[in-house]
Amino acid sequence: MVRKELIKTLALLSMTGLLYGCGKKEPEEQIPPVPVVVQLTPQEGVFAFEENKGGEIRHVGPTETPTPIPTAAPAQQSAPAGGSSEPAAPVETKPAGGATCYDISDLESRVYSAEQEAKIAEFYRNTVFTGDSVLLGFKNYCAKSSDPLLKNLKFLASGSYSLHNAFWEVSDKSIHPLYQGQQYPLWESIPMMGVERAFLFFGINDVSFGVDESLSMYPLLIEKITDAAPGLDVTILSATYTLKDKGKGSLNNTNLASFNAGATKLAAEKGWGYIDLATVLSDGAGNLAEKYCSDGELHENELAYRVWVMMLKAYAAERMGF
């Protein structure tokens, strides 16, 4: 009798164990997290513009990013692009580093000899400017000019371009400037151009993502470019302002001024050149002066771009020591 009860008890215990085993959850396999690549999209407060067939800049809304027109992609080249085949005479310059600021009356009073003008043009012989739609306006201004200095400048500019979307992968949604009919990130197109100097104009389409976060992207971008183009002479052009009270959300003159202050500090630390366009073109109160504005918002006219040219000439002259 005792034996039967013992067997019965053991059977019950065994069944209970089986039932417990069925109901118990095994620890889930730990799957490592998959990195998520977030492609930033235009946010409220980001101006968006495109260039029409006539070369004019058209406002296409504060949140729209223009899609580039698809073009046939040529074979990638490593040789320098365009320009004279004659070797450029060496131009001795002081190293870049720190901010260069100007006063409009000082700029207007500067006079250069024919020899100095020739040296200034030579300084910019193998130079590329890259940036957004405000820089596109300067590109259009240079294209209409007969000045040899301006005719020789190279450009990688695109409407709504920014430090942020400069890191996007090339696709039908990216807006990298076209080089020989094809989109490339700057660290590919700039080396292919064989240039010696690069002037970067960013910030207007960046500050809506946060000033500090945007500033942190400047060294990342320049490092990628200079890794691919060792010895490249880099100069930052300050972001220019909007007309008074014409900013959009976080894209306002307070944030643009903070961005420029941070970029000035970075230039001094990293040994880049820096030209303060914003102050010379301002109304004295931290806004773009109305006489320099072309569209009632932030784009600039020929009068403004004449000031750009005066600043570029003064910058080259000082780098060459005269």
Instruction: Encode pLDDT of 165-219 as tens digits.
Output: 999 999 999 999 999 999 999 999 999 999 999 999 999 999 999 999 999 999 9
Instruction: Encode pLDDT of 98-115 as tens digits.
Output: 677 888 999 999 999 999
Amino acid 165: pLDDT: 97
Q: In this structure, are residues 272 and 222 in contact, taking their beta carbons and an 8 Å threshold?
A: yes
Whole-prediction pTM: 0.75
Phi, then psi, of 186 in degrees rounded to 5: -60, -35
Long-range pairs, 143-150, Cβ under 8 A, ≥24: 143/55, 147/309, 148/121, 149/117, 149/120, 149/121, 149/124, 149/309, 149/312, 149/313, 150/309
pLDDT higher than 90, residue 223: yes
Instruction: Encode pLDDT of 26-63 as tens digits.
Output: 444 443 443 333 333 333 344 444 444 444 444 433 33
Alpha helices, H only, the chain: 2-23, 104-109, 114-123, 133-144, 148-151, 186-193, 211-215, 217-228, 253-270, 277-280, 302-319
Provide the CATH number for the domain formed by 94-319 in this structure.
Answer: 3.40.50.1110
Place of tokens 């307070």: 254
Instruction: Encode pLDDT of 116-164 as tens digits.
Output: 999 999 999 999 999 999 999 999 999 999 999 999 999 999 999 999 9
Domain range list for the chain = 94-319
pLDDT-derived band of residue 93, with 50, 70 and 90 as boundaries? confident
* Non-local CB neighbours of 145 within 8 Å, separated by 6+ positions: 151
- Rg, the chain, Cα only: 28
Beta strands 57-59 and 98-100 are unpaired
